[in-house]
Amino acid sequence: MHMLRQIVLAFGLMFALASTAQAAATAKTGVIDVARVIQQMPETKKAENVLKSSSQEWEKALDKMKVDFQTAAATYEKGKAQMNQATRAQKEKALETQLQAAQKFQLEKFGQGGALQTKQEELFKPIRQKVLTAIETVAKKEGFSMVLDKQAMIYGDPSLDLTIRVIDHLNKK
């Protein structure tokens, strides 16, 4: 749902920035619930499943790294009294390296700009483009010069709502 919110906000900003007060006063303006359109697309469910699968795979790998670290740390703690200083330092260095590897993996996969975010953008970019194209097609066909995201509006005449028409257009393809 977080990714849908980002997509919806992006659409809302694009549509809001494209309008001016003068154009709004004279233009036929439609509204659309972009989040609903995106949620109804079969491609969205597929993209969400791919994203979820990747996320679960990476979480599983990260969990294994954490368990391996905890096991190694527990083994070290049990045996450190019998270790000489050099062995203790070597084991501590190995534990530190292991912990840093897990933290690096977590950042690379789940951090800002990480693999999950990149994959999300890769999967949803064509969906966003398809929705934008459908909105433009329906708006032009029905004589709308401007379309705003419903979530950015307080009130809109229901007769100006293009949501169902855009969904129908996408389903015909």
- Give per-10-residue mean pLDDT for the chain (173 aa): 59 55 66 94 96 97 96 94 93 96 96 96 96 95 92 84 91 81
Looking at residue 2, the DSSP 8-state letter turns out to be: H
pLDDT in the model for residue 70: 96
pLDDT in the model for residue 99: 95
For the domain that residue 40 is a member of, what is the CATH number?
3.30.910.20
- pTM score above 0.75: no
pLDDT in the model for residue 154: 84
pLDDT in the model for residue 9: 53
Indicate the number of domains in the chain. 1
Count, residues in the chain: 173
What Cα–Cα distance (Å) separates residue 3 from each residue in 10, 83, 98, 154, 155? 11, 50, 32, 23, 25
Report yes or no: 153 and 30 within 8 Å, Cβ to Cβ.
no
| Pairwise CA distance, residues 157 & 155, whole Å | 7
pLDDT in the model for residue 156: 80
pLDDT in the model for residue 152: 82
Q: Which domain holds residue 164?
A: 2-172
Report yes or no: 40 and 167 within 8 Å, Cβ to Cβ.
yes
